[in-house]
């Protein structure tokens, strides 16, 4: 779905008309800006959206340029447009190879790896030289692009396509997935997302965009050399992308323009063009201090647009659903060990259809280990069956897709998304208005267009639960959903949780410290202490059992 | 074959020295400094300018070391002042901006014309059992070992070392206990700056003495630091020397020889992937 805002069209028309007014020097500069903007767009994709620092984007561009130069130097009968496209496609597998370390290596270490890649690519470009470079055989453009003006329009056309495409991607599920992976890989996997594929897509697409820019640069300047794609230049483009916030396509354009305009303006003021790089460096430091580039800070301060809903929420059933005897989740002899520490020791219990089962126990009893094991984040021994199907061998994302969903103790929601985008991402489908209205009521909200960053913690937690329920899971594991809520909010949440089986027909395991919440929400509880199951049964009986009281009071006294 | 490997000792020793600086900053003040080599290169260019103007070499070197120390200290001050509460990730990203700044200012001041580079150690060599060992390699090796030894002694047996370790483990707690955190941060940056200047001075005669090229030497230094798990100084030195030996060996194979200075990348990748092989997830829980 390609959507173009009026601003985008206006800017496009202005950019298309500019060459008619400007002398050829400026035309060359404008073309360079477009090409640089593609590189910053690719930085925004891989680093801004997906959160993986890549300091070697220009090296992908170098590969695209190298291919075009190669075709040209060998007089291969391939049309120029196709040459550029092939160059971009050749950069893709390289992007995936450089992306592979990103599956294990993160943050600054990844920055070092990608910068290292830039240095190595530079070495290769220098030694091998760009084809045609030594004999002085420049890349020739076809007749219809031979004029600088037509070439500029050609670049503009491709750039507009890229922006539209990237915009559509950012609004798509893949875009939300990139943001999800940036925020928390665990939470993303718990939503059923293939984290590795999501990361590799980001590298592949950004390498494609960067590769395209390299091919276009070959057409623009004719003769390429390693200096066109130096690691330092990569670094500076990365810095300007950070400084502006290239996650937004408009930010990428601004960053790409500044890369040429700032030195140009400085030159006209008879100042050293070196000042430009210093400005970028200082701007980057300021952006890091502010926690985001210009566009990111602006987006955070933008007033949310309230989208009114004209649909009444689907009503919640007032009565609690009585559990049947059909077992949904069967846990047998579950053991988890961290080195010598036995976190869970032969825990067995079953969850029946329509049941809200409380899982309680003092700190360190193994509750979180249990959730991590069931949801596929921690290796374990024993058996877990979901509706008769063995879950062993399934990873976290596969378990989520099979219908076993979990929430997290800490807030792991994706703050860059709007309420609606988050809900639809978590549900894994486009939601009809009634279900959105239900989710809003569940979270105590009134507008879908709000950004999650503007919501308080309690609302985000309830939104997380609502999103999980909308994915229509079979079993939900709620890991202390009431943490950080007031007692009134907690009880309200407890009543909502109690009504989940009736509304969505899924069973719930509720991990909770607050006994009021457990009493209000759960028909039965199991109690863990030191990794073993010490009691199980109806809530009121178990909670008044002396063993349970001892396990808890012991902990209370110690604390 | 062995002779070729020995030829790689000079590079390896310099990677080791730079790696020690990287580990020093990573452990003590929690930053992965991409600008580490550039700080040293800046000081080296000051030495070149002084040398060109016929100042005594010793004085020139002293001024260069001091320049790098001051530059490092300045950057450390920026870090301590504005980013003391920031995460490792943010602090390290700031060093990207530092690197751009130093490269820009360095090229601005010193230009890109080639300058004569003095040989600090001379070109003599030692004959041991039919093998030629350049004096330079011995000097670098000695410096690296001396450095690792004294840092370890300092950390284990002096009050300053205790302060530094406290600062590294629990910065806020250390500061509350009266450890002068800002001054120590600046100090560590300054010391690392001077050491990297020395390292760059030693390797400059055998590389093309260009500002950006030499500044990228931080990368093999990081590969060495990685082999020391960003923790152990002695392993870092061994790692750096190992990379140097591989480069030396590669120079005797005509097919790989031109690309030998990219081999550290493979070592780094292999080490990172091995160390991080179990890091399937971004957060512990």
Calculate how close chain A gets to B7, using CA atoms only, in Å.
Answer: 21
Q: What is the pLDDT of residues A48-76, one digit of tens each?
A: 999 999 999 999 999 999 999 999 999 89
Nearest of B22, B2, B5 to residue B199 by alpha carbon: B22
Joined together, the tokens standing for residue A394 give 């399934």
Res A94: pLDDT:
96
Beta strand A507-511 pairing with A524-529? unpaired
Provide the β-strand partners of residue A335. Answer: A381
pLDDT in tens, A172-196: 999 999 999 999 999 999 999 999 9
Q: Which residues of B touch A117 (CB under 8 A)?
A: 265
Residues A260/A280, Cβ–Cβ less than 8 Å: no
- pLDDT at residue A271, rounded to an integer: 87
Are A113 and B101 an interchain contact pair (Cβ–Cβ within 8 Å)?
no
* Contact assignment for B282 to A105 by CB distance below 8 Å: no
Query: Distance from A307 to chain B by nearest Cα, in Å?
Result: 35
Which residues of chain A are within 8 Å of residue B105 when distances are taken between CB atoms? 274, 278
Q: Which residues contact B83 (CB under 8 A, 6 or more apart)?
A: A288, A289, B90, B91, B94
* pLDDT of res. A376: 93
pLDDT on residue B284: 64
Measured in angstroms, the CA of B164 and the nearest CA of chain A are apart by 23
A559 has a pLDDT exceeding 60: no
Average pLDDT, chain A: 89
- Give pLDDT < 70 ranges for chain B: 284-285
Domain assignment present for residue B283? The answer is no
Q: What is the pLDDT of residue A308?
A: 52
Nearest chain B residue to A184 by CA distance is B282
Instruction: Return the structure tokens found at A149.
Output: 């003006």
Chain A residues near residue B81 by CB distance under 8 angstroms: none
The token pair that represents B133 in the structure block:
């060992």
- Minimum mean pLDDT among A121-125, A312-316, B17-21: which range? A312-316
Helices (H), A229-364: 231-244, 249-268, 274-290, 294-301
CA distance A41 to A246: 6
Contact present, A382 and A346 (Cβ < 8 Å): yes
Predicted local confidence at residue A316, as pLDDT:
44
User: Which residue do the tokens 């495409």 mark?
Assistant: A165
pLDDT of residue A558: 43
pLDDT band at A313 (very low <50, low <70, confident <90, very high): low
- Over range A213-235, report the average pLDDT: 94
Nearest CA in chain B to A368: B285
Chain A from 264 to 283: CB within 8 A of any B CB: 272, 274, 277-278, 280-282
Query: Angle of helix A107-128 relative to helix A57-73, nearest 10 degrees?
Result: 20
Q: Which residue of B has its CA nearest to A285?
A: B94
Pairing of strands A381-386, A327-338: antiparallel
**Which residues of chain B neighbour A289 with C-beta distances below 8 Å?**
82-83
- A402 vs chain B: nearest CA distance in angstroms? 20
Which stretches within A413-486 are classed as H helix?
419-427, 433-443, 457-470
pLDDT surpasses 60 at A312 = no
Question: Nearest residue of B to residue A286 by CA position?
Answer: B94
B90 touching A (Cβ < 8 Å): yes
The third-level CATH classification (topology) of the domain covering A326-403+474-559 is Rossmann fold (3.40.50)
Residue A536 · residue A527 · CB < 8 Å? yes
Q: Give the integer Cα–Cα distance in Å for A440 and A460.
A: 11
Answer whether A232 sits within 8 Å of B103, measured CB to CB: yes
CA distance A333 to chain B (A): 23
Range from A192-196, A217-221, A278-282, A550-554 carrying the lowest mean pLDDT: A550-554
- Asked if residue B281 is part of any domain, the answer here is no
Q: Do residues A87 and A217 make contact, with C-beta atoms less than 8 angstroms apart?
A: no
User: Residue A321's pLDDT is what?
Assistant: 52
What is the 3-state secondary structure of B129-169?
CCEEEEHHHHHHHHHHHHHHHHHHHHHHHCHHHHHHHHHHH
pLDDT digits (tens, 9 = 90+) for A246-281: 889 999 999 999 999 999 999 999 988 888 899 999
Q: Is residue B240 part of a domain?
A: yes
What angle, rounded to 10 degrees, do the helices at A80-99 and A195-221 form? 140
* Residue pairs spanning A and B at CB distance below 8 A: 130
Q: Do B32 and A112 touch (CB under 8 A)?
A: yes
Instruction: Compare A457 and A285 and report the one with higher pLDDT.
Output: A285
List CB contacts of B275: < 8 A, sequence separation 6 or more.
B226, B229
Within 13 A of A376's CA, how many CA atoms are on the CB side?
28
- Indicate whether A4 pLDDT > 70: no
Cβ–Cβ below 8 Å for A184 and B283 = yes
* pLDDT of res. A82: 96
Beta bridge partners of A508: A356, A476
Q: Rounded to an integer, what distance in angstroms lies between the CA atom of residue B264 and that of residue B217?
A: 10
Check CB contact under 8 Å for A277 and B92. no
A277 vs B contacts (CB less than 8 Å):
100-101, 103-104
Residue A516 pLDDT: 87
Which residues make Cβ contacts (< 8 Å) with residue B137, sequence separation at least 6? B6, B9, B10, B13
**pLDDT at residue A549, rounded to an integer:** 81
**Can you tell me the distance from the alpha carbon of A109 to that of A120, in angstroms, rounded to the nearest whole number?**
16
Q: Does B208 touch chain A (CB under 8 A)?
A: no
Q: Is B56 part of any domain?
A: yes
Instruction: Quote the pLDDT of residue A306.
Output: 53
Chain A environment of B259 (Cβ under 8 Å): 123-124, 127
- Chosen for mutation from A109, A122, A179, A233 (greatest number of chain B CBs closer than 10 Å) is A109
Could you tell me the two tokens for B274? 């091995």
Any A CB within 8 A of B108 CB: yes
What does the pLDDT average to over A216-235?
94
Q: Do A235 and B96 touch (CB under 8 A)?
A: yes
Q: Establish if B109 touches chain A: CB-CB under 8 angstroms.
A: no
Q: Are B16 and B224 in contact (CB under 8 A)?
A: yes
Domain range for B8 is 2-275
**Strand pairing category for A327-338 and B125-128:** unpaired
For A:207-266, CB contacts with B below 8 A are 230-232, 235-236, 238-239, 242
8 Å CB contact of A101 and B273? yes
| Percent of chain A clearing pLDDT 70 (strictly above) | 94
The answer to whether residue A555 scores a pLDDT higher than 60 is no
Give pLDDT tens digits for A398-440.
999 999 999 998 888 999 899 999 999 999 999 999 889 989 9
Domain ranges across chain A:
29-230, 326-403+474-559, 405-472
- Look up the CATH number of the domain holding residue B204: 1.10.3470
Interface of B with A in 124-163 (CB under 8 A): none
Preferred mutation among A116, A186, A373 to probe B, highest tally of B CBs within 10 A? A116
Smallest CA–CA distance from A236 into chain B, residue: B100
The arithmetic mean of pLDDT across residues A483-501, rounded, is 86
As for how many domains chain B has, the answer is: 1
Give the pLDDT of residue A314: 55
Say if the Cβ atoms of A235 and B261 lie within 8 Å.
no
């Amino acid at each position: 779905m390609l959507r173009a805002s009026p601003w985008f069209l206006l800017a496009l028309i202005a950019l298309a008309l500019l060459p008619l007014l400007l002398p050829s020097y400026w035309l060359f500069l404008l073309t360079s800006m477009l090409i640089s903007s593609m590189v910053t767009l690719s930085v925004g994709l891989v680093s801004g959206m997906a959160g993986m620092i890549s300091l070697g984007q220009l090296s992908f561009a170098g590969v695209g340029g190298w291919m075009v130069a190669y075709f040209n130097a060998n007089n291969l009968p391939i049309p120029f447009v196709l040459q550029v496209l092939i160059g971009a496609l050749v950069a893709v597998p390289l992007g995936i190879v450089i992306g592979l370390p990103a599956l294990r290596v993160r943050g600054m270490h990844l920055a070092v790896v990608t910068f290292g890649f830039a240095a190595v690519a530079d070495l290769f470009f220098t030694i091998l030289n760009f084809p045609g470079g030594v004999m002085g055989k420049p890349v020739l453009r076809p007749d219809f692009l031979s004029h600088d003006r037509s070439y500029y329009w050609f670049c503009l056309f491709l750039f507009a396509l890229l922006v539209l495409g990237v915009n559509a991607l950012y609004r798509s599920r893949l875009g939300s997935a990139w943001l999800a992976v940036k925020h928390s890989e665990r939470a993303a996997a718990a939503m059923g997302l293939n984290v590795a594929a999501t990361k590799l897509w980001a590298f592949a697409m950004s390498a494609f965009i960067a590769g395209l820019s390299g091919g276009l640069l070959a057409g623009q300047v004719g003769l390429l050399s390693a200096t066109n794609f130096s690691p330092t230049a990569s670094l500076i483009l990365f810095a300007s992308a950070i400084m502006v916030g290239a996650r937004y396509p408009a930010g990428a354009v601004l960053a790409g323009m500044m890369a040429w305009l700032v030195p140009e303006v400085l030159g006209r003021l008879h100042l050293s063009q070196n000042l430009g790089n210093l400005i970028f460096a200082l701007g980057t430091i300021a952006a890091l201090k502010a926690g985001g580039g210009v566009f990111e800070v602006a987006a955070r301060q933008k007033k949310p647009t309230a989208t009114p809903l004209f649909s009444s929420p689907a009503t919640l059933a007032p009565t609690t659903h009585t559990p049947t005897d059909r077992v949904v989740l069967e846990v047998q002899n579950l053991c988890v060990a961290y080195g010598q520490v036995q976190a869970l020791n032969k825990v067995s219990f079953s969850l029946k259809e329509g049941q809200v089962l409380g899982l309680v126990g003092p700190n360190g009893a193994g509750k979180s280990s249990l959730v991590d094991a069931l949801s596929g984040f921690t290796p374990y021994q024993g058996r877990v069956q979901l509706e008769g199907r063995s879950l062993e061998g399934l990873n976290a994302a596969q378990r989520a897709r099979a219908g076993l969903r979990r929430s997290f103790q800490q807030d792991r929601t994706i703050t860059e998304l709007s309420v609606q985008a988050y809900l639809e991402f978590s549900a894994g489908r486009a939601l009809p208005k009634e279900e959105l209205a239900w989710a809003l009521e569940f979270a105590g909200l009134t507008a879908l267009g709000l950004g999650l960053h503007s919501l308080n913690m309690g609302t985000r937690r309830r939104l997380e639960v609502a999103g999980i329920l909308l994915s229509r899971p079979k079993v939900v594991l709620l890991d202390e959903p009431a943490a950080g809520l007031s007692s009134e909010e907690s009880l309200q949440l407890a009543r909502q949780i109690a009504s989940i089986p009736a509304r969505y027909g899924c069973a719930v395991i509720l991990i909770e410290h607050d006994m009021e919440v457990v009493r209000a929400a759960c028909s039965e509880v199991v109690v863990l202490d030191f990794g073993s199951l010490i009691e199980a049964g109806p809530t009121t009986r178990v909670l008044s059992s002396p063993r349970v009281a001892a396990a808890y009071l012991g902990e209370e006294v110690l604390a | 074959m062995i002779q070729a490997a020995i030829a790689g000792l000079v590079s390896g020793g310099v990677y080791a020295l730079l790696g020690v600086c990287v580990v020093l900053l990573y452990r003590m003040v929690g930053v992965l400094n991409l600008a580490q080599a550039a700080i040293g290169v800046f000081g080296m260019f000051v030495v070149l300018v002084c040398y060109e103007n016929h100042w005594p070499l010793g004085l020139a070197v002293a001024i260069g070391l001091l320049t790098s120390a001051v530059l490092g200290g300045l950057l450390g001050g920026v870090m301590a002042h504005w980013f003391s509460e920031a995460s490792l990730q943010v602090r390290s990203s700031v060093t990207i901006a530092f690197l751009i700044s130093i490269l820009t200012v360095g090229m601005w001041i010193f230009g890109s014309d080639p300058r004569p580079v003095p040989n600090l150690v001379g070109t003599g060599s030692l004959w041991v059992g039919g093998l030629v060992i350049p004096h330079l390699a011995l000097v670098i090796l000695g410096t690296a070992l001396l450095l690792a030894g004294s840092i370890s002694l300092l950390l284990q047996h002096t009050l300053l070392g205790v302060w530094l370790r406290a600062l590294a483990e629990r910065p806020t707690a250390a500061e509350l206990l009266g450890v002068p955190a800002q001054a120590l941060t600046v100090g560590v940056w300054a010391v690392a700056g001077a050491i990297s200047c020395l390292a760059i001075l030693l390797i400059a005669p055998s590389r093309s003495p260009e500002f950006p090229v030499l500044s990228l030497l931080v990368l093999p230094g990081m590969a060495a630091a990685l082999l020391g798990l960003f923790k152990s100084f002695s392993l870092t030195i061994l790692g750096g020397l190992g990379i140097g030996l591989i480069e030396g060996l590669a120079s005797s194979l005509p097919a790989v020889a031109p690309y030998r200075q990219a081999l550290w990348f493979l070592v780094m990748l292999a080490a990172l992937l091995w160390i991080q092989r179990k890091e399937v997830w971004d957060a512990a829980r």
